[in-house]
Amino acid sequence: MGIDPLPLDAAAARALSGVTTATLTTVLLKKGLRNVWMRGSRVLRAGQSRVVGRAFTLRFVPAREDLATPESWSAPISTRAAIEQMPPACLVVADAMGVTDAGIFGDILCARMKKRGVAGLITDGVVRDLAGVLGTDLPVWCSGVAAPASVAGLTFVGWQEPIGCGGVAVIPNDVVVADDDGAVLIPAALLDEVIAAAVEQERLEGWIMQQVESGQPLPGLYPPNDANKAAYQAWASKQR
């Protein structure tokens, strides 16, 4: 159903694992992309490791009584069927329309995703069975928890198609990075140039932090003036 999932190059995944979402939003802002941070997708367990992966998308629409039933869980188009199509290392991004009174996944579904090697779940909705979900060790970013099942407020309609999550347009196989600051989308077509700029930005900010810790004042340092740019370049040339 929808677009075939693609793997993420291992080198790209390694590079992005060392880049914060804060840095990525700055890099993407410089490229004219302001709307890349998924609202309402907060880390479920603080201190989770940063996750990186290509987006495997799920889409929900408002509940309709003839469609959103417990029987629908056994249908060919269902969350259960979608999970069996998720490739290892993907990041599941679910459009739950910001609905917060129906949990789209619980412990059993999260356990199956973890078993399939899914890197994490990101949604603007909520999950249920909190203790069980945490027990699966599947990294989750969501808007909270709720006891009712998904069909109490949502109808699942498909996977691997364009969605909106937290106000951000997500196309299958876009790249997502998530950490304690939330989840950020990188358009697939911009991946290489974003990685290059983000890695350099992290290196620069690491050097700036060293200068701050040594007592240097911020004016002319952050952002760096010509003198500090030259000092940074001299330092960076010795690190490469």
Q: Which two structure tokens, joined as six digits, stand for 204?
A: 């620069």
* Average pLDDT over all residues of the chain: 96
In this structure, the answer to whether residues 85 and 169 fall within a common structural domain is yes
Rounded Cα distance between 112 and 34, Å, is 34
Note the pLDDT of residue 72. 87
Based on the fold, state whether residues 116 and 223 are members of the same structural domain. Answer: no
Question: Could you count the other beta carbons within 10 Å of the beta carbon of residue 239?
Answer: 8
On whether both 19 and 110 belong to a single domain, the answer is yes
- What average pLDDT score do residues 19-47 get? 96
Please tell me whether residues 164 and 223 are part of one structural domain. Answer: no
Query: How sure is the predictor about 21, in pLDDT bands with cuts at 50, 70 and 90?
Result: very high
CATH number of domain containing 56: 3.50.30.40
- Judged against a pLDDT cut of 80, whether residue 31 lies above it is answered with yes
Considering its fold, how many domains does the chain have in total?
A: 2
CA distance 92 to 85: 11
As a whole number of angstroms, the distance between CA 57 and CA 54 comes to: 9
Contact 94, 104 (CB under 8 A): yes
Segments forming the whole domain that contains residue 203: 193-239
- DSSP H/E element including 124: none
Quick one: 163 and 146 in the same domain?
A: yes
Position 8 confidence tier, pLDDT thresholds 50, 70, 90: very high
**Within this chain, do residues 182 and 212 fall inside the same structural domain, yes or no?**
no
SS3 214: coil
**Residues 41, 134 within the same domain:** yes
Instruction: List pLDDT tens digits, range 215-239.
Output: 999 999 999 999 999 999 999 998 8
Report the alpha-carbon distance of residue 120 to residue 114 in Å, rounded. Answer: 8
Does 208 share its domain with 136?
no
State whether 72 and 151 are in the same domain: yes
Q: Answer with the one of 170, 189, 208 that is the final residue of a domain.
A: 189
Model confidence over 125-173: pLDDT tens digits?
A: 999 999 999 999 999 999 999 999 999 999 999 999 999 999 999 999 9
On whether both 19 and 75 belong to a single domain, the answer is yes
Q: Judge whether 92 lies within some domain.
A: yes
